[in-house]
Chain A
Amino acid sequence: MRVCLGEFTLELELEVPAGGITAVMGPNGSGKTTLLRCLAGLEATEAGRINLGGRLVDDPAAGVWIPPERRGVGYAYQDVRLFGHLSALDNVAFGPRCRGTGRSVARRSALADLDAVRMAGSAGIKPAKLSGGQAQRVGLARALAGAPPVLLLDEPFSATDVDVRPLLRRQVRAAGATVVLVTHDPADAEELADAVLVLQAGRIAS
C-alpha cells in the first residue's frame, strides 16, 4: 500500500497472520500512526490494497472503500480520545451499542471489560477525573469491547503504571485478535509480539 500526506509518503507491504501480534517500532514521524490510520479507514491510500481478515477494505484501483465503522477494528488511540460527556462505563459500552447491542447487555459486558483492566471501580467516573494511565486503561478496554477481529493499538500502555502492564499485555493476548501494536517500549515488542517491524521514513527498515 502507499499513502501520501503532504511531503510524507508511506509505502510498505505487510502481512499480519490471523491471530498474530505484530509490533511496529521506529522513530517519530516514521509513519507508525499513519499505518494504523490507513488500516482503520481514517486515511485513504493512493495505491495498493488493504485486506482485513480476508476482506478487501481499501483498493483505489478497484474503487473499493469500506468506511471505518464497517471495518470491525478496535482502535486504542495514542491520545486516548475518551468521550468527555460519558462515564468510563458508557465509553466502553459505546461500540457495542453502536453495533446494535441492547443497553443493559452492553453495559454489563462493559463492566466486565473494565474489570479486566482493573478499572471497574471507576466505571461511573467521567474521563476528566481519570489520570492519564487510568484513561489509557479505559481506552484499551473500549478498543477490546465487543471482541473486534482486528486490534490497532497505538502506544496503549505508555502512560500506565509499570506494574499493571503485564496484566494489560495478557488482556491483549487473550483477546485473540490480529493485532498491530505501535510501541516505543522494547519490552512490549519482546513480551507480546510475534513479529517486529521497524519503520523508517515511511518504509520498512527491518
Chain B
Amino acid sequence: MSIASPGVPDRAAGASGGEPAPRGPQGTAQRRRELRHRPVGGLWLPAGVALALLVVPTVGLLQRAPWSDLPSLLGSPRLRDALVLSAVTSAAAAGASVVLGMPLALALSRCGPSLRRVMRAAVLLPMVLPPVVGGTALLFALGRRGLVGLWLDRWFGWSLPFSTAGVVVAATFVAMPFFVVTAEAALRSADAGLVEAARTLGARRSVAFRRVTLPLITPSLTAGAALAWARALGEFGATITFAGNLQGRTQTLPLATFQALEAGRPGEAVAFSVILLAVSVAVLLALRDRWLSR
C-alpha cells in the first residue's frame, strides 16, 4: 500500500508487484475528489438570495456613481472636512477601544462566572442597543446637566455634546464591545499549558503574559481592533444624537452623506458613499493579507 501526499499522483499504486492496478492515477484522483466533495446542491438558491441581498446594493451604488463629476466632488470642502474628521475620530475611537477595552477583556477572562455574566451583559448592551438610544443615553449622562456631565463641566469646564471629543465618545461607545468580545474570547482560549511552560522556564506571571500569551493572541486582537475601527467609521445614530451634525466639527462622512441626500444632492451622497466603500475595502484587504488570513 502507498500513501501519496495531496496533489501528487499516486504512481506507486500500480507499480508494485508488476500487476496491473485495478485503478490508475486517474481513479485515485477521482476517488479523492469524491471523498472531499461536499455537494452544494439545493443550497444554491437560498445562498444566492442571501449573497444578492449583500452585493446588489453595492453594485447599484457603483453603477449610479457620477464617475465624471467625481474629481470635482472629491475636491469639495464638505467632503474634505468630513473625511478628515472621520479618519481622526474613527482612529481615536479604535485606539480608545483597545486601550480601555484590553483591561476590561482581561478582567472578564479572569473573574468568577457570576460577575462575568453581569459584566458581559453590560459589554454586549451597546451592540444590541439601537445607536440612537445609545446617543440619547450619552446625552443624558454626559450632557451639561447629565449624571457625569454636570461634574465634568463644573470641575474641568468640559462639555462633550456637540464637540469632536463627543464624536469620539459616541463612536467608542458603540465600537469598544467589538474589541472586548474578540479579545476576551482570545484570552480565554489561550493555551494555559504554554503559560505553565513559560513559568517553569523561569518567567514570572507578567513576563509569561507579555512574552507568550500576548504574541499568540495578537492576530485576534488585531482583528478585534479592525472590527471596532470599522464600526466606529460607520457610526451614525449615536453620533448625530449626541454630537450633532456640524461641518468640520462633528460631521463625519456618514453624516455628510446623509445630509447630502436630504438636501437633494444625490450625486454628492453617492460620491461620499463610494469613498467610504473604498476605504473600508482597502483596510479590510490590507488586514486580511497581514493578519486575518492566519
Residues of A within 8 A of B (CB): 40-42, 67-71, 73-75, 77, 79, 81, 83-85, 94-95, 98-99, 142, 146, 152
Q: When chains A and B are docked, how far (Å) is the Cα of A152 from the Cα of B211?
A: 23
Query: A95 contacts B201, CB within 8 Å?
Result: yes
B69 on the A face (CB < 8 A): no
Interface-side segment among B114-122, B202-210, B220-228: B202-210
Number of residue pairs A-B, CB distance < 8 angstroms: 58
B200 on the A face (CB < 8 A): yes
B103 CB to closest chain A CB (Å) equals 23
A84 CB to closest chain B CB (Å) equals 6
Contact with A along B253-280 (1 / 0, CB 8 A): 0000000000000000000000000000
Query: A81 contacts B201, CB within 8 Å?
Result: no
Query: B202 contacts A81, CB within 8 Å?
Result: no
Q: When chains A and B are docked, how far (Å) is the Cα of A99 from the Cα of B198?
A: 11
A58 CB to closest chain B CB (Å) equals 14
Closest A residue to B218 by CB, please name it.
Answer: A85
B6 CB to closest chain A CB (Å) equals 17
Tell me the residues in window 156-193 of chain B with beta carbons closer than 8 Å to chain A beta carbons.
191, 193
Query: A69 contacts B215, CB within 8 Å?
Result: no
Query: B199 contacts A67, CB within 8 Å?
Result: yes
- Neighbour of A83 across the interface among B194, B202, B204, B207, CB < 8 A: B194
B212 on the A face (CB < 8 A): yes
Query: B197 contacts A77, CB within 8 Å?
Result: yes
Query: A79 contacts B193, CB within 8 Å?
Result: yes
A38 CB to closest chain B CB (Å) equals 12
Closest A residue to B193 by CB, please name it.
Answer: A81
Q: When chains A and B are docked, how far (Å) is the Cα of A99 from the Cα of B196?
A: 16
- Neighbour of A94 across the interface among B193, B196, B201, B204, CB < 8 A: B201
- Determine the chain A residues whose CB is within 8 A of the CB of B207 once the complex forms: 98
Residues A142 and B199 in contact in the complex (CB < 8 Å), given A77-B193, A83-B212, A85-B216 = no
Query: A75 contacts B203, CB within 8 Å?
Result: no
Q: When chains A and B are docked, how far (Å) is the Cα of A193 from the Cα of B212?
A: 34
Closest A residue to B207 by CB, please name it.
Answer: A98
Interface size (B, Cβ < 8 Å)? 17
Closest B residue to A152 by CB, please name it.
Answer: B200
Contact with A along B128-149 (1 / 0, CB 8 A): 0000000000000000000000
User: Which 3 A-B residue pairings sit nearest by Cβ, starting from the closest?
Assistant: A95-B201, A98-B202, A81-B197
Query: B203 contacts A69, CB within 8 Å?
Result: yes
Task: Give 25 pairs: A residue, B residue, CB < 8 Å, sorted on A.
Answer: A41-B199, A42-B199, A67-B199, A68-B196, A68-B200, A69-B202, A69-B203, A79-B193, A81-B191, A81-B193, A81-B194, A81-B197, A83-B198, A83-B212, A84-B216, A94-B211, A95-B201, A95-B202, A98-B202, A98-B203, A98-B207, A98-B211, A99-B202, A142-B201, A146-B202
Query: B194 contacts A40, CB within 8 Å?
Result: no
- Determine the chain A residues whose CB is within 8 A of the CB of B211 once the complex forms: 94, 98
A190 CB to closest chain B CB (Å) equals 28
Tell me the residues in window 45-100 of chain B with beta carbons closer than 8 Å to chain A beta carbons.
none
Sample of 5 further A-B pairs with CB below 8 A, known A67-B199, A83-B216, A142-B201: A40-B200, A42-B199, A81-B197, A85-B212, A95-B202
Q: When chains A and B are docked, how far (Å) is the Cα of A43 from the Cα of B193?
A: 13
Q: When chains A and B are docked, how far (Å) is the Cα of A94 from the Cα of B197?
A: 10
Interface centre among A40, A68, A84, A142 (most CB of B within 10 A): A68
A35 CB to closest chain B CB (Å) equals 14
Query: A73 contacts B216, CB within 8 Å?
Result: no
Query: A42 contacts B196, CB within 8 Å?
Result: yes
Query: B200 contacts A75, CB within 8 Å?
Result: yes
Query: B199 contacts A68, CB within 8 Å?
Result: yes
Q: When chains A and B are docked, how far (Å) is the Cα of A146 from the Cα of B216?
A: 25
Q: When chains A and B are docked, how far (Å) is the Cα of A42 from the Cα of B197?
A: 10
